[in-house]
Amino acid sequence: MSEASFPPPIGGWTLETVKRIVRDYPKESDWFDYKEALVPHKDQPPDKKGEHRGSIRRCACAMSNTNGGFIIFGVKDAKNSKTGYPEIVGIDLKGDLRKQFGDLLDEIDPNIRGFDAKTIPFDTDESGEGVWVVQLPVSPFRPHASEGRFYKRVPAGKCEPMSASEVREIVVHVEQQRRSKEMLLSEIAMMAFSVVNMKSHIDNAVGIGDRLNIDGASILVRDAWHLIRDDHASDFLLLCQQGRRINMQLDRVWHAALARAVNPQASLVFDTSEFSQSLDAFMETARLCCQAWGVDLTRALSKSSANDLEGGAK
């Protein structure tokens, strides 16, 4: 496995992945945090149990506020290990670990709304023990607070309280991201609305005066690029390419119509089947782009239609 691909997506984690991390990161980092247990031991005093849960909440809060990261349950960190190095000790994998972890997140404000997890049993162990890994992405709803304090993750692998200026900076940044995302989604919906109109007038393509605002959409895609997941990036790029193709097809028929106006003998050939396929392909890609951010294109089109009617009434 190359350094560029490490760590792999959580679905590809194995026990060897955990062993490599423990070997290469003897000290916790801004990306990795080791937790010996998810649930505190029943014999621990109440204050120790509370501190254990609070430590997990602070870690989840800090990672969600900063760059995301992985919490690896079943690994004793160096300062608590007799060897002075991280030690894979395992946890009981029976029970609903996602619910147990999710219950801890419920006490974070605002609530962290998503995480991935991977259960990694020991290869030669029949006791039901192993390692449980949680991946927390950068949260679109940050900053998050635990017990009234906002935390950040630092390279030393610690969770530190954020200053007022840091909290304010995140709030402004997240608001800018939200606006970039909303503007791009709105532009996609408006272009899809135009495509629906083109589809209804396909037999009179010469009369279609509108063109898709691909230059504007490309700028919005660039501005929101850091918000687009890697597995959906190609959809947004493809949408711009398909939009340019539609505009080129309309330009060709328009130029042919002008030539025919000057010379009635000039041919006016327009393949409506090919144009229809281009429109259908654009709509499917637009649907995928909206779906990437949890938006239903049909509902977005309804909103665009309402806005269009409202603008016309004014």
> Could you tell me which residues are beta bridge partners of residue 32?
70
Express each pLDDT in 257-270 by its tens digit.
666 666 766 565 66
pTM comes to 0.71
Lowest-confidence range among 45-59, 133-147, 193-207, 213-227? Answer: 193-207
Q: At residue 205, what is the residue type? A: A
Q: Which of 157-166, 266-275, 282-291, 299-308 has the lowest mean pLDDT?
A: 299-308
Residues 292, 313: Cα–Cα separation, whole Å: 33
Token digits of residue 160: 């530190």
Length of the chain in residues, anyone? Answer: 314
Question: Which of 107, 177, 117 has its CA nearest to residue 142?
Answer: 177
Looking at residue 8, its amino acid is P
Take residue 101 and report the two structure tokens written for it: 């972890």
Strands 32-35 and 69-73: parallel
**Tens-digit pLDDT profile for residues 54-81:** 999 999 999 999 999 999 999 999 888 8
Residues 284-311, mean pLDDT to the nearest whole number: 76
Structural domain spans, the chain: 3-162, 169-309
CATH topology of domain 3-162: 3.30.950
Provide the pLDDT for residue 83: 87
Contacting residues for 42 by C-beta, under 8 A, at least 6 apart: none
